[in-house]
Amino acid sequence: MKHIPLNNRFLDLGSQFYRKSKPVPVTAPALIKFNKNLASMMGLSIEDTNLQEATLIFAGNQLPEGSIPLAMAYSGSQFGSFNPQLGDGRAIYLGEVNAPDGKTFDVQLKGSGRTAYSRNGDGRSALGPVLREYLVSEAMYKLNVPTTRALAAVTTGEEVARETLGPGGILTRVASSFVRVGTFQYFAAKGDLKSIKILADYVIERNYQNINGVDNLYLEFFKSVVERQAKLIAQWMQLGFIHGVMNTDNMSVAGETIDYGPCAFMDEFNHNQVYSFIDRGGRYAYSQQPPIGLWNLTRLAECLVPLFAEDTETAVELAKEVLQSYETSYEKAWLEGMRIKFGLVRSDDNAGDIQDKKLIESLFEIMQMNHADFTLTFFYLSRLNLIESDIDEKLKKLFDKTESIEAWLGRWRLRLSEETTTDEERQLNMQSVNPVYIPRNHLIEEVIRAAEDNNDFTLFHKLHVVLEDPFTLQPGMDKYMLPPEPEQVVENTFCGT
């Protein structure tokens, strides 16, 4: 099949980076969803006429012409403990697509059978996690958050054994890189500096082409990774996204959200929110994400340090300086994003920044104390006028007690009176970042139940369509913007491994 022309520069890095590994064919592949828009961005010529043939590729039953598939090696710090031997245990890298506009897209099958790194796992994926990743990663893309994407999802016609037996699925996943912090750790653990350098050069060439003409290439590379990650996590925080399993093997060095396992968007705002069943200690709770980002980047620094300078002491100092810039980058990205979210435009000075930060943080405190829904709070806030209206009442209804939110709205309006924007301008700006629809946990759960129990994908397609345009109020779609009823609340999410 020529419709997915693939290169594989990763193959040339050296055999220490991977094990060649072919997808294991499945008995009855059936397409659930194919992402036409993404395919056209990638320059793929998959049309209705050859979609059936392409489905065989998405299922791993056929290989794209010339593809030499492989499983990548990596390590990972999982919940703080280093595991030297992970790697693609249920994913297979097919190669890269070079799009007509010069962009590069790495393509991977997830759930396509055992590899050399599968350990005791079956190399397969249950259907539920495939649907979850499809919906959430595509929603993130539409929410303008850097992310891996979903090109296709198929059912396999085979069962996988998890807590119970259930239908299997395969996701065709696309990223600008599948190299993780853990990939660098893999070679650092072996003391293989040569491979660390090869890997860094590969990532720089493909994902950090903006870096050139600098004195210290690897330091600049590390700085850019730190900055992208800081900005990424700030975006998660602005939307109430909880990754759930921020192990270093689940952190991309390209600054994209990767590995959607037990991830979730929160409904009621809560700094300490955790959904992941295995995250008992709350290591990856909502508000832990910024410091965990730094912890993971510190692990990356440990791998790259020998490349920063010949003298170890100097190299460590340089690394520390960059790590210190993480907090500044994060704070800056957080405040910039929050300002837009809150409709605050002017920022004249440092004192203004501190004031705005206080105003912003105090709303989150009030939301937490009053069990207010994260997304709906900002939905109404971005429709308020400078003068009180009936929308104020709708907003207040989200809060258990109204006094503190009333007082806060007074402070917010006072702050807005310093702005020169009109109500309409402010509302448009705010509505461009405050979504109406997010992939709420209970909606995903409903989609998965229908698909796994009844082979019914209607709800999957419906939810997907709504999430394609998350910032626009869509008539008749109230169900998709509302928080769960008490009996619909999903307390725990699972890795699906």
Residue ranges binding Mg ion (CB under 5 A): 250, 259
- Spell out the SS3 assignment of the chain: CCCCCCECCHHHHCHHHEEECCCCCCCCCEEEEECHHHHHHHCCCCCHHHHHHHHHHHCCCCCCCCCCCEEECCCEEECCEEECCCCCCCEEEEEEEECCCCCEEEEEEECECCCCCCCCCCCEEEHHHHHHHHHHHHHHHHCCCCECEEEEEEEEEEEEECCCEEEEEEEEEEECCCCEHHHHHHHHHCCCHHHHHHHHHHHHHHHCCCCCCCCCHHHHHHHHHHHHHHHHHHHHHHHCEECCCCCHHHCECCCCECCCCCCEECCECCCCCCCECCCCCCCCCHHHHHHHHHHHHHHHHHHHHHHHCCCHHHHHHHHHHHHHHHHHHHHHHHHHHHHHHHCCCCCCCHHHHHHHHHHHHHHHHHHHHCCCEHHHHHHHHCCCCCCCCHHHHHHHCCCCCCHHHHHHHHHHHHHHCCCCCCHHHHHHHHHCCCCCCCCEHHHHHHHHHHHHHHCCCHHHHHHHHHHCCCCCCCCCCHHHHCCCCHHHCCCCECCCC
Neighbours of 184 (CB within 10 A): 25
279 interacts with ligand AMP by CB under 6 A: no
**Could you tell which of Mg ion, ligand AMP, none binds residue 90, using a CB distance below 5 to 8 A set by kind?**
ligand AMP
User: Up-side HSE of residue 466: CA atoms within 13 Å toward CB?
Assistant: 24
Stretch that binds ligand AMP, among 7-15, 83-91, 191-199, 367-375 (CB under 6 A): 83-91
331 interacts with ligand AMP by CB under 6 A: no
By rule CB under 6 A, what count of residues binds ligand AMP? 17
**Could you tell which of ligand AMP, Mg ion, none binds residue 169, using a CB distance below 5 to 8 A set by kind?**
none
90 interacts with ligand AMP by CB under 6 A: yes
Question: Least separation, in Å, of the C-beta of 86 and Mg ion?
Answer: 8
Among 5, 29, 69, 87, binds ligand AMP (CB under 6 A): 87
158 interacts with ligand AMP by CB under 6 A: no
Question: Least separation, in Å, of the C-beta of 259 and Mg ion?
Answer: 4
250 interacts with ligand AMP by CB under 6 A: yes
Catalytic site residue from 88, 201, 215, 249: 249
89 interacts with ligand AMP by CB under 6 A: yes
173 interacts with ligand AMP by CB under 6 A: no
Stretch that binds ligand AMP, among 85-93, 146-154, 437-445, 451-459 (CB under 6 A): 85-93
369 interacts with ligand AMP by CB under 6 A: no
Which residue number, 146 or 435, has a Cβ lying nearer to Mg ion? 146
For residue 52, count CB atoms less than 10 angstroms from its CB and return exposed for 0-12, middle for 13-18, buried for 19 or more.
exposed
Stretch that binds ligand AMP, among 4-12, 44-52, 113-121, 481-489 (CB under 6 A): 113-121
Among 38, 70, 72, 86, binds ligand AMP (CB under 6 A): 86
In the bound state, the residue with its beta carbon closest to ligand AMP is: 121
Binding-site string for ligand AMP from residue 199 to residue 238, where x marks contact by CB under 6 A and - marks none: ----------------------------------------
Question: Least separation, in Å, of the C-beta of 134 and Mg ion?
Answer: 16
Which residue number, 421 or 497, has a Cβ lying nearer to ligand AMP? 497
Which residue number, 124 or 464, has a Cβ lying nearer to ligand AMP? 124
Which residue number, 261 or 290, has a Cβ lying nearer to ligand AMP? 261
Question: Least separation, in Å, of the C-beta of 26 and ligand AMP?
Answer: 14
Give me the phi and psi of 208, to 5 degrees please.
-130, 50
Which residue number, 88 or 356, has a Cβ lying nearer to ligand AMP? 88
118 interacts with ligand AMP by CB under 6 A: yes
Please name every residue paired with 72 in a beta bridge, in sequence order, or none if there are none. 18
Q: Are 274 and 290 in contact (CB under 8 A)?
A: no
Active site residue 353: no
261 interacts with ligand AMP by CB under 6 A: yes
Among 66, 84, 121, 157, binds ligand AMP (CB under 6 A): 121
Which residue number, 260 or 399, has a Cβ lying nearer to Mg ion? 260
Catalytic residues: 249
| Residues found near ligand AMP in the complex (CB under 6 A) | 86-90, 117-118, 121-124, 249-250, 259, 261, 495, 497
